Amino acid sequence: MQPTLEQLRQRHGQRYKWLVLMTVMIGTMASILSSTIVNVAVPDLSRHFTLGQERAQWVSAGFMLAMTLSMLTTPWLLLRFGLRRTYSGAILLLLAGGIVGGFSLNYPMLLSMRVVEGLAAGVLQPIPSIVVLRAFEPHEQGKAMGVFGFGVVLAPALGPSVGGFLVEHFGWRSIFFVVVPFCLLVLFLVQRLLAVNSPMMGERRPLDWKGLLLASVGIMSLLNGLVHLHDSLVQAAVMLSIGIGVVAGFIYYQVHTSNGLINMGLFRHRQFAMGALVAFIYGAGLFGSTYLLPVYMQMALHYAPSQAGLVLLPAGLVLAVTIILAGKLADRFPAHVLVSAGLFLLALSFVLMGSGSKASGYFALILWAIVGRIGLGFVLPALSLGAMRGIESAMIAQGASTINFLRQLGGAIGVSMVGIVLQWRLLVHETASPGRENAQIPAFHETFLLVAFLCAAAVLAAWRMRPANSNAAPES
């Protein structure tokens, strides 16, 4: 017989909430690892399946699209099935995607397994924020987000490094199997630590399948429209027009339905609305650059996959330390100040990458990555807390899910946009200077500067996250 929530609290005492946080943290680490580890294998996959950049980027963008859409179902799943069954089901789906993906026979099969992994990751992503906001007191939430962030940032820090080593020595298939031990560990912890009767606050409602269908058609049309900008402007214009129209219809439907995927009343809170805008722009810049950097190092600078992966390892370790400090600062200082400072440093790192040269050297790339990851460390804990301050308890699940949804939507669009702009600029420079050595480098630099512009633009929205009744007073 499985223990109840009351029995588990009596057994573990005050540390029970930290054990639950550890459980969901490891599961989220596995999903983030599956998201980022594949980027270092993009050149190898491109060669194996004979893909151009506009198709190769779907290995990452397809994952993020699936993750973005499935995030919208997390509140419904939690209310319908509870925390334990929802989390277990998502981990099993991630495990299946990793195992089957490693044995892919062709590109469509590989892409479909990336979508399966993305669906699982989307359900997993908002849950830790919900756990922190519900299980921890307000004065502990910053610390809890910092501890959670410390674990989560280790995944993208170690992912490219491990992935580069595996690709170089065992081929691209090996990177899919990395999530397997994480998933098995989480399933063990779920059996021991998550209660069968974990309550989720909020009214149980049917799934808004109409809204989910509109969101799916709209987002897929937008991403396909962006891809076709490379080869057919007419087809791109048609797809983008359909996408914009359907997304507008989705927003209208969500406003006028009482059972929507997104509670549009959340956007009446200025802090939440500005935080959502920051999450979208920041997601586009962050995930676009995470895709871009390993490809840049291998295609333009001709580093080995293991070297391309290792460049982010020191930055990831610095990020892990920074995020603990930033989590404590988030309990003492205004969120808009921390988020703005972090976005500025993130933009600065991309400017440095976009203005460097092959002579800059490997060590310079490591330093520039560290600057960006310090900035990221200040953004992560403060963004969710700043956006969610003042939100009623019953709306926390939808608020956390919406913030994550918009960040991942920005990420999916950012990865597509980076891949398309990169392909465009590569063609321009190779046509202008055929046969010229290092002709690819300017194309990558211009794409990095685009990502820097996105992060700089997010600073304007971040500053508007400050509380309406205070210009710069510390939050407590």
Of the pLDDT bands very low, low, confident and very high (cuts 50, 70, 90), residue 52 is low
CA end-to-end span of the chain: 42
Of the pLDDT bands very low, low, confident and very high (cuts 50, 70, 90), residue 246 is very high
Q: Which of 62-66, 111-115, 436-440 has the highest mean pLDDT?
A: 111-115
Of the pLDDT bands very low, low, confident and very high (cuts 50, 70, 90), residue 94 is very high
What is the per-residue pLDDT for 474?
41
> What's the mean pLDDT in 60-72?
81
What is the per-residue pLDDT for 348?
92
What is the per-residue pLDDT for 44?
76
What is the per-residue pLDDT for 358?
67
More confident call, 236 vs 162 = 236
> What's the mean pLDDT in 447-461?
86
Of the pLDDT bands very low, low, confident and very high (cuts 50, 70, 90), residue 244 is very high
Residue 421 CB partners (closer than 8 Å, separation 6+): 446, 447, 450
Q: Which of 25-34, 134-143, 211-220 has the highest mean pLDDT?
A: 211-220
> What's the mean pLDDT in 81-99?
88
Give per-residue pLDDT as tens, 295-345: 888 888 888 877 777 777 788 788 778 877 887 787 778 888 888 998 999
Q: For residue 419, count CB atoms less than 10 angstroms from its CB and return exposed for 0-12, middle for 13-18, buried for 19 or more.
A: buried
Q: Rounded mean pLDDT of the chain? A: 80
- Lowest mean pLDDT across 131-145, 163-177, 434-448: 131-145
Give per-residue pLDDT as tens, 184-222: 998 998 888 776 655 555 556 777 888 889 988 988 888
Of the pLDDT bands very low, low, confident and very high (cuts 50, 70, 90), residue 476 is very low
> What's the mean pLDDT in 73-79?
82
More confident call, 437 vs 226 = 226
What is the per-residue pLDDT for 289?
77
- Lowest mean pLDDT across 268-272, 433-437, 453-457: 433-437
Are 31 and 97 spatial neighbours (Cβ–Cβ below 8 Å)? no
What is the per-residue pLDDT for 469?
58
d(CA 97, CA 180): 10
Q: Which of 122-131, 157-166, 360-369 has the highest mean pLDDT?
A: 360-369
What architecture is the 5-199+261-463 domain classified under in CATH? Answer: Up-down Bundle (1.20)
What is the per-residue pLDDT for 4?
66
Q: CA geometry: angle at 465 spanning 463 and 468, to 5°?
A: 110
Residue written as token pair 């599956």 = 34
Q: How far is CA 295 from the centre of its chain?
A: 18
> What's the mean pLDDT in 76-103?
87
More confident call, 188 vs 80 = 188
What is the per-residue pLDDT for 92?
94
Q: How far is CA 365 from the centre of its chain?
A: 22
- pLDDT > 50? residue 369: yes
Are 294 and 309 spatial neighbours (Cβ–Cβ below 8 Å)? yes
SS (H, E, C) the chain: CCCCHHHHHHHHHHHHHHHHHHHHHHHHHHHHHHHHHHHHHHHHHHHHHCCCHHHHCHHHHHHHHHHHHHHCCHHHHHHHHHHHHHHHHHHHHHHHHHHHHHCCCCHHHHHHHHHHHHHHHHHHCCHHHHHHHHHCCHHHHHHHHHHHHHHHHHHHHHHHHHHHHHHHHHCHHHHHHHHHHHHHHHHHHHHHHCCCCCCCCCCCCCCCHHHHHHHHHHHHHHHHHHHHCCCCHHHHHHHHHHHHHHHHHHHHHHHHCCCCCCCHHHHHCHHHHHHHHHHHHHHHHHHHHHHHHHHHHHHCCCCCHHHHHHCCHHHHHHHHHHHHHHHHHHCCCCHHHHHHHHHHHHHHHHHHHHCCCHHHCHHHHHHHHHHHHHHHHHHHHHHHHHHHCCCCHHHHHHHHHHHHHHHHHHHHHHHHHHHHHHHHHHHHHHHHCCCCCCCHHHHHHHHHHHHHHHHHHHHHHHHCCCCCCCCCCCCC
